[in-house]
Structure 1
Amino acid sequence: MRRVRYEHSGGPDVLFLEDAPVPEPGPGELLVRTEAIGVTLPVVRKVREPREPIALGGEIAGDVAAVGPGVTEYAPGDRVTGLVFGHGYADYALLHVAMASPVPDGARATDAVALVRSGLVAYGALQAARPEPGEAALVTAAASGVGHLALQLAAASGASRVMGAVSGTGKAEFVRGLGADDVVVYDDESWGDPVDYVLDAVGGDLLTPGLKALAPHGRLVAYSSGGGTVEAYDLLVGAKSVIGFQMALIARGKPETYERWRKELWRLFFEGALRPVVHAEFALEDAARAHEAIEGRANLGKVVLIP
């Protein structure tokens, strides 16, 4: 089989395609013949970190080719999606059964990788904000794989006004097409009227304007791997709060919540209230171009590899 790997940190150019043996599924594992692989910002960032190379994992969807010892939930031929922590940029990937979920009839593999993991992060961040019907929301990185779903989910939850924040004006039309009432650019002097909650996927220097955009008693949910700090005084003025959210804690510690959210996402998808958008499909050998699209903030929706 083919597999994408890298041997030292750097930009997208360090990625290369190699031949590798098809792995054998161990206890509790599924061997999945990948049809679609989601490219995520955390993985793209990992390639640049000056440390030992990691396996390029992430979201996958495809057919079960074989099951490991003890697996009774799935059988060869079943369509599944899930998050892999080993090599995911490959023709075949090992998916632990605890991280797997079925792909419903009528959904494509690209729908699954665009919706399930990114959608779960978006939905979980929204739940962490404790939204009330009639509140106003702001979503940063609103054109990203997670952000474009978070924006739609905020609207579906009953927000009276949904604002999208993006890196450039070229993304405004796309975000408005998803239902945003207003669109702002990060370096705008003002982000408009205050909102009740912010779903922030960027972090870093954007935390300060995100907090400034909140109305009194507003909540900012931070779910980015971008880090950043906030001043305590910025929280005290207006009694604002920052809430951290990490999807992995839900997946590991609250599987029943994870499953309930997953079913809700598919319900919204089939009812037409949630529309995952795939920005571009790249061949496996073009993984570097996929990473370039993420790093250059060029993507409108999800970036996907198609083996």
Structure 2
Amino acid sequence: MRVMRLHEYGSSAVLHLDEAPEPVPAPGELLLRTEAIGVTLPAVRQLRGEGEQAPLPRGLGGEVAGTVLAVGAQVTGYQVGDRVTAVAFADAYADLVTVPTATASHIPGHADSVQAVALVRSGQVALATLTTANPRPDESVLVTGAASGVGHLALQLAKIRGVGRVVAAVGSAAKKNFVRDLGADEAVGYADADWGTPVDIVLDGVGGPVLPAALAALNPGGRLIYFNSGGGTVPAHALLAGSTTITGMTIRRFATTQPELYQRHDQLLWQLHATGRLRPSIHAELPLTDAAAALRIIETRTNKGKVVVRP
């Protein structure tokens, strides 16, 4: 089978299309024939060698959707022929992948694999972040990375939840109209000198150089939910001066500590999608052989919505 791997760390240019043996599902895993692969910023960071460096050559993790070809031992609730979306922690950019059932969910009949890979994992992150923030209708929310795969769903879900004022922070003027069309009440750029009236909650999916401005955008007593891997440092006196709270959120911990809520979120996402209230946007679909180009779109942060690779 074909699999995209890197043989050295760097940029998307280091990806190679290799031939590899077909994987075999371990206990608790499914073997999928992939039909869509969601391209994510964590995959870009894996390319750069940020965080834990696995031995080379290595494949990239990512969101996948496809059809079950084989079922590992100790698996219940799935069978050959099911259509599912899941997270593959390695070798996601491939014709065949193995995925743990803990990250898997069924794709309903009304949806295709591209919609599934754009909706489920990113939507789960967005919902978990909003649940952690727990905004009231009278509060305001600012979403950074609002044109990203997660961000563009988070701003829609905030409006669906009944948040009165949703502000979208983006990296370019071209993205401002995009987020307004999705329901953002206001759009600001990272480089803008003024981000407007302060907000009660920031959902920060960017971090790094954006974090200080995101923190400064909060009202006194505001709270920031940090759900990215972009780094950044917050001076303790800034928290003290604003009586501000920062909470970290990872979807893996959310799913493992609140599994029933995670499952309800999965059902909610599909219900909202089926009724047209939640609209995942597909920025681009590229073939597996152009995975490097797909990753460059994420590297340069030019995407408006989800970037998807098709084997």
In the alignment, does 2:279 pair up with 1:265? no
In the alignment, does 2:88 pair up with 1:106? no
| Per-residue deviation, 1:238 | 2.9
Equivalent-residue separation in structure 2 for 1:97 and 1:188 (angstroms): 44
| Per-residue deviation, 1:58 | 1.1
Deviations 1:189-236 (A, max 9, x none): 110011110100010121111111111221111101001111122222
More off after superposition, 260-269 vs 193-202: 260-269
Which amino acid in the other structure matches residue 158 of structure 1?
A: G
Aligned to 1:192: 196
Aligned to 2:44: 44
Runs of 4+ in 1 over 3 A off after TM superposition: 50-54
- Indicate the SS of the match to 1:237: helix
- Count of paired positions: 307
Equivalent-residue separation in structure 1 for 2:165 and 2:257 (angstroms): 33
| Per-residue deviation, 1:10 | 0.6
Which amino acid in the other structure matches residue 176 of structure 1?
A: R
Equivalent-residue separation in structure 2 for 1:74 and 1:238 (angstroms): 49
Aligned to 1:5: 5
- Indicate the SS of the match to 1:145: coil
Equivalent-residue separation in structure 1 for 2:275 and 2:233 (angstroms): 39
Equivalent-residue separation in structure 1 for 2:205 and 2:233 (angstroms): 14
- Indicate the SS of the match to 1:121: helix
Equivalent-residue separation in structure 2 for 1:134 and 1:301 (angstroms): 28
Q: Percent identity?
A: 53
In the alignment, does 2:276 pair up with 1:275? no
Equivalent-residue separation in structure 1 for 2:297 and 2:138 (angstroms): 35
Equivalent-residue separation in structure 2 for 1:146 and 1:210 (angstroms): 17
- Indicate the SS of the match to 1:24: coil
Equivalent-residue separation in structure 1 for 2:289 and 2:9 (angstroms): 18
Aligned to 2:22: 22
Which amino acid in the other structure matches residue 184 of structure 1?
A: V
TM-score under structure 1 normalisation? 0.97
Which of 214, 217, 223 matches 2:218?
214
Equivalent-residue separation in structure 1 for 2:212 and 2:275 (angstroms): 37
Equivalent-residue separation in structure 1 for 2:189 and 2:106 (angstroms): 38
Aligned to 2:85: 81
Equivalent-residue separation in structure 2 for 1:294 and 1:272 (angstroms): 26
Which of 247, 256, 259 matches 2:251?
247
In the alignment, does 2:147 pair up with 1:174? no
Aligned to 2:130: 126
Equivalent-residue separation in structure 2 for 1:254 and 1:136 (angstroms): 26
Which amino acid in the other structure matches residue 248 of structure 2?
A: G
More off after superposition, 71-80 vs 230-239: 230-239
* Aligned-CA RMSD value: 1.2
| Per-residue deviation, 1:77 | 0.7
| Per-residue deviation, 1:105 | 1.2
Equivalent-residue separation in structure 2 for 1:255 and 1:279 (angstroms): 31
- Indicate the SS of the match to 1:73: coil
Equivalent-residue separation in structure 2 for 1:132 and 1:271 (angstroms): 24
Equivalent-residue separation in structure 1 for 2:75 and 2:230 (angstroms): 37
Deviations 1:266-303 (A, max 9, x none): 12211222111110011001010011000111100011
Task: Note if contact 2:30-2:100 (Cα within 8 Å) is conserved in structure 1.
Answer: yes
More off after superposition, 17-26 vs 50-59: 50-59
| Per-residue deviation, 1:17 | 0.6
Deviations 1:159-183 (A, max 9, x none): 1111110111111111111011111
Consecutive unaligned residues of structure 1, counting only runs of 5 or more, are: none
In the alignment, does 2:297 pair up with 1:293? yes
Task: Note if contact 2:68-2:83 (Cα within 8 Å) is conserved in structure 1.
Answer: yes
| Per-residue deviation, 1:64 | 0.5
- Indicate the SS of the match to 1:18: strand
